[in-house]
Amino acid sequence: MTTTYLSPTIQNELILLLSKKVKNIVLEEVREAKYFTIMCDSTPDISHTDQMTLIVRYVTIKNSIAQVKESFLNFFPLSGKTAAEISQSILDELELNNLDVMMCRGQGYDNASTMSGIHTGVQQKIKNINPKALFVPCGNHTLNLAGVHAVGSSQLSDRFFAVLERLYVFFAASTHRWDVLIKHAPIALKRVIDTRWSAHHAAVKALHAGFDEIMDAIEELCNPNENLNTRGDAHSILEAIQNFSFFSFLCFWKVILRESHDTQTYLQQKGLLLAQYSNKMKAFVNFLVEERDNLVKGSVDAAIKKCTELEIPVEDRRVRRKKRMPGEHAEDAGLSVVGEVRRCMFQALDRFKLEAETRFTGIHHLNDMFGFLNPHALLQSESHNGFTNAFKSTYDDEVDFLELAVEIDRFKRLVRSSETTFDRNATAFDVLQWLAKSHLLDSTPYLCLCLKLYLTIGVSFASCERSFSKLKMIKSYLRSTMNDDRLSALSILSIERDYVQKLDFEDIIADFASAKARKVEF
């Protein structure tokens, strides 16, 4: 009989053995780094089990090369939905992986009140145990919420996206209608999804790029040869999109969503730094402020031009207002259609700006707290006076600030003597990288410690979403009965494949053989 080692039991044992090797390498790196940030998010799998992903971010320096890493540890099912139960599950997983929660210097979750609540959320419960575990909300989710609230700030804006979704549903509901759409339009329509803000950009971009062709497709579906439902829906949608308000918001949101999408794409980078995150968000808010008037004027002018081309009248009527109580006055009562559209656009812009500024205040505060570690601040003559009270109070038991000031002066002399220059886009990571390559880590221990603390704080949690992509592929419909150990093992082998490729398989075979040996040496 030939031994094949292909039984399900043997496969699972090999998978678990491989994943254990990879996980041990990751955990050893985390312990060597000493400090880490935890990033968690959850999603239901195909078997309707709520799976929480655990990602750790840390800074390694090996062979004079510094790296900011975000590594996947495992999935674990949530046993409860309350903040107390979730925080306990996270603490149990850290203990299971032999990671000390007191070495945690950052935590990142989405904006759900259960996770990010400042009084009873998971982040606060972990802060109660370790006050140095600074909380940073997910940047993409935060920007998503700001955009959703901006859309809902006015009825006209909300109605625009409702029509956009209705347009997609109209064509997607029938293969015949979709074929007519593809025959005319160069780009297929996309649907609007509130939980994924980039979907708004894709939907608006597709409609704007092929608006005339999509209108041709709708007009073809108004043909008497079509069935009654198709003709009725086509006429209704045609009326909904052929008006000044719809044209205006199509141009308006195209420009805003283009910038928003660029910002979100930037925030999805692996290993993104706090300063880069803060600067990108400031740039987006500046765009909303500086282009406020031009955006509205350009959108209105483009809509008027489109209405003229299609011979659609811009109705010079008054917008109906709800009845006011005696003595009440409203300056905007009775605005024209153009005036009402302009008012709604300004309202959406101002709401977007307000939401972005408010929601990202904590990020900017953290960046200011560590701001003295950026190259341009370190190289200033009085940089050692730049330690904020928040930084001192947080790390007073880990950092000798008098010695740190001496090391900063030493760093400036080293930079001048080596004739090294840091450009205006240089970051704290570039400083750590230069110190590592120059073999100056022992000369500036406290400066390096502060840099590592700064770089350890997670700012983008796209790694959690990337792990969900692997989850959906691994635990599919055909593998819905997969147990949690196998799921986590396959996930870590897939996500951390760079480590897998470096494994010595001779050692794996030897470990497997010793585990299966039946003879015992006395």
**Which has the minimum average pLDDT: 65-79, 449-463, 508-522?**
508-522
Q: Which residue ranges make up each domain of the chain?
A: 8-138+461-516, 142-322+330-364, 371-454
Q: What is the mean pLDDT of residues 26-33?
A: 93
Instruction: Give, for 262, the enclosing helix (H) or strand (E).
Output: helix 244-267
pLDDT at 90: 93
478 or 211: which leads in pLDDT: 211
Q: What is the mean pLDDT of residues 267-276?
A: 81
Which residue has tokens 């968000």? 281
Instruction: Give, for 406, the enclosing helix (H) or strand (E).
Output: helix 401-418
Who's near 221: CB < 8 A, 6+ residues apart?
A: 177, 180, 230, 231, 234
Query: 204, 257 in Cβ contact below 8 A?
Result: yes
Query: 374, 275 in Cβ contact below 8 A?
Result: yes
Q: Please give the biggest Cα pair distance in the chain.
A: 100
Query: 71, 466 in Cβ contact below 8 A?
Result: no
Q: Which residues of 29-60 are buried (b: 16+ CB within 10 A; e: fewer)?
A: bbeebebbbbbbbbbebbeeeebbbbbbbbbe
Q: How far is CA 7 from CA 3, 296, 299, 351, 507, in A?
A: 10, 66, 64, 60, 21
Mean of per-residue pLDDT scores for the chain? 86
Phi, psi of 173 (to 5 degrees): -75, -15
Q: What is the per-residue DSSP string for 415-446?
A: HHHHT----TT--HHHHHHHHHHTT-TTT-HH
Lateral strand order in the sheet of 50-62: 65-77, 50-62, 36-44, 104-108, 134-135
Q: What is the mean pLDDT of residues 103-107?
A: 93
Question: How far is the C-alpha of 514 from the C-alpha of 131, rounded, in Å?
Answer: 45
pLDDT at 118: 85
Q: What is the CA radius of gyration of the chain?
A: 28
Q: What is the mean pLDDT of residues 104-122?
A: 88
450 or 271: which leads in pLDDT: 450
Structure token digits, residue 38: 């935890």
Q: Given pLDDT bands bounded at 50, 70 and 90, which one contains residue 79?
A: confident
Query: 53, 468 in Cβ contact below 8 A?
Result: yes
pLDDT at 319: 47
pLDDT at 285: 92
Q: How far is CA 128 from CA 83, 119, 124, in A?
A: 13, 10, 6
Q: What is the mean pLDDT of residues 84-108?
A: 92
Q: Pick from 27-41, 325-339, 381-395 the range whose average pLDDT is largest.
A: 27-41
**Which has the minimum average pLDDT: 200-214, 226-240, 322-336, 394-408?**
322-336
Query: 72, 491 in Cβ contact below 8 A?
Result: yes
Percent of the chain's residues with pLDDT above 90: 36
Q: Give the Cβ contact number of residue 412 at 10 Å.
A: 16
pLDDT at 373: 87
Question: How far is the C-alpha of 482 from the C-alpha of 475, rounded, in Å?
Answer: 7
Question: How far is the C-alpha of 155 from the C-alpha of 93, rounded, in Å?
Answer: 46
Q: Pick from 213-227, 315-329, 416-430 the range whose average pLDDT is largest.
A: 213-227
pLDDT at 329: 56
pLDDT at 273: 83
pLDDT at 318: 45
Structure token digits, residue 268: 């999805």
Q: What is the pLDDT of residues 51-71, one digit of tens each?
A: 999 999 999 999 889 999 999
Percent of the chain's residues with pLDDT above 70: 92
pLDDT at 521: 59
CATH topology of domain 8-138+461-516: Nucleotidyltransferase; domain 5 (3.30.420)
Question: How far is the C-alpha of 461 from the C-alpha of 138, rounded, in Å?
Answer: 6
**Which has the minimum average pLDDT: 18-22, 84-88, 190-194?**
190-194
Classify residue 336 by its DSSP letter: B
Q: What is the pLDDT of residues 332-379, one digit of tens each?
A: 555 688 888 999 999 999 999 999 888 888 888 888 888 888 888 888
Q: Pick from 39-43, 191-195, 308-312, 382-386 the range whose average pLDDT is largest.
A: 39-43
Q: How far is CA 215 from CA 145, 189, 390, in A?
A: 31, 12, 58
Who's near 199: CB < 8 A, 6+ residues apart?
A: 190, 191, 192, 193
Q: What is the pLDDT of residues 181-208, one digit of tens each?
A: 998 887 788 888 766 767 888 889 989 9
325 or 174: which leads in pLDDT: 174
pLDDT at 1: 58
pLDDT at 113: 85
Assess whether pLDDT exceeds 80 at residue 520: no
Q: Which residues of 172-197 are buried (b: 16+ CB within 10 A; e: fewer)?
A: eebeebbebbeebbebebbebeeeeb
pLDDT at 100: 93
End-to-end CA distance of the chain: 30
Structure token digits, residue 136: 């940073």
